[in-house]
Amino acid sequence: MIHIHKGEEPEVLKNHKETWTKEYTEALETGDTIPNTIRYRYRHKDIKDALRKEAANKCIYCERKIPFGETDHIVPVSKHPELIVDWDNLGLSCKECNTYKGNYYDENEQLINPFEDQPDEHLLFFGPMILQRVGDMKGFRTVEKLRLRRTELIERRKERIEQLQGLIEQWNSLPEGKTKEITRKKIMEEAQNDKEFSAIVLAYLSQALGW
Ligand SMILES: [Zn+2]
């Protein structure tokens, strides 16, 4: 998990959020089933595109690259219906993280919000493993609730590190010179924000090479 800069609010939201929010909260008050056309407006293509762009096509929680992804409400709509199309409340999430997070929300016991928090202030990354910092309950809740140590994620992170190791060995065996420098740059690029599991890669490079 990394900190993400919130992208620019899409035009469609700027223009319609007030009406859409009003229609949704009013429909909610009637107690009737809310039509999908009112309930799922946040799935609009322009909104999804903007979410994908700001998150570099990665889940904002587990940093997996995802082909489609779901739209997560940071604060669940069941708790705060007025935030249904609030731009700051929307993020791209994988199906699993979204499902595990469910409608969890507690004002006093929040999870890490990647748009507001610096995740590495709460979490430690060791190889494929993610741990909360000692005594950090926000980190603890986030790891447990989102199951950031689930087997499938550990496996994928392990593959990522092994792939990186290959590059590092190549770099290490090269004599000083341009080729070595290019290889080093290539390795550093793997830790950039748009790359899968960048938090883990960054931590690994720091631990393994002191970079
Ligand atoms: Zn995820």
pLDDT tens sequence across 148-164: 999 999 999 999 999 99
| Cα of 94 from ligand 1 centre, angstroms | 4
Phi, psi of 179 (to 5 degrees): -60, -40
Task: Express each pLDDT in 162-209 by its tens digit.
Answer: 999 999 999 999 999 999 999 999 999 999 999 999 999 999 999 999
| Cα of 63 from ligand 1 centre, angstroms | 6
> pTM score, two decimals?
0.94
Task: Give the per-residue pLDDT at 180.
Answer: 97
Task: Give the per-residue pLDDT at 45.
Answer: 96
| Cα of 180 from ligand 1 centre, angstroms | 35
Structural tokens at position 39: 């309930």
Bridge partners (DSSP) of residue 71 are: 92
Task: Give the per-residue pLDDT at 201.
Answer: 97
Task: Give the per-residue pLDDT at 32.
Answer: 87
Poorest-confidence range of 12-16, 144-148, 186-190, 206-210?
A: 206-210
Residue 168 near residue 206 (C-beta atoms within 8 A) = no
Burial track 12-46 (b if 16+ CB lie within 10 A, e otherwise): bbeeebeebbebbeebbeeeeebeeeebebbebee
| Cα of 66 from ligand 1 centre, angstroms | 9
| Cα of 181 from ligand 1 centre, angstroms | 34
Residue 69 near residue 53 (C-beta atoms within 8 A) = no
Please state the rounded mean pLDDT for residues 29-55. 94
Phi, psi of 129 (to 5 degrees): -95, 140
Residue 191 near residue 201 (C-beta atoms within 8 A) = yes
Task: Express each pLDDT in 116-130 by its tens digit.
Answer: 999 999 999 999 999
| Cα of 105 from ligand 1 centre, angstroms | 17
| Cα of 88 from ligand 1 centre, angstroms | 18
Task: Express each pLDDT in 85-121 by its tens digit.
Answer: 999 999 999 999 999 999 999 999 999 999 999 999 9
**Dihedral angle sign, alpha carbons of residues 153, 155, 161, 167:** negative
| Cα of 117 from ligand 1 centre, angstroms | 17
Q: Does the pLDDT of residue 55 top 90, yes or no?
A: yes
Query: Which residue has 């689930």 as its token pair?
Result: 150
Question: Distance (Å, rounded) from C-alpha 17 to C-alpha 87?
Answer: 9
| Cα of 56 from ligand 1 centre, angstroms | 13
Residue 177 near residue 158 (C-beta atoms within 8 A) = no
Q: Does the pLDDT of residue 31 top 90, yes or no?
A: no
Question: Distance (Å, rounded) from C-alpha 36 to C-alpha 31?
Answer: 15
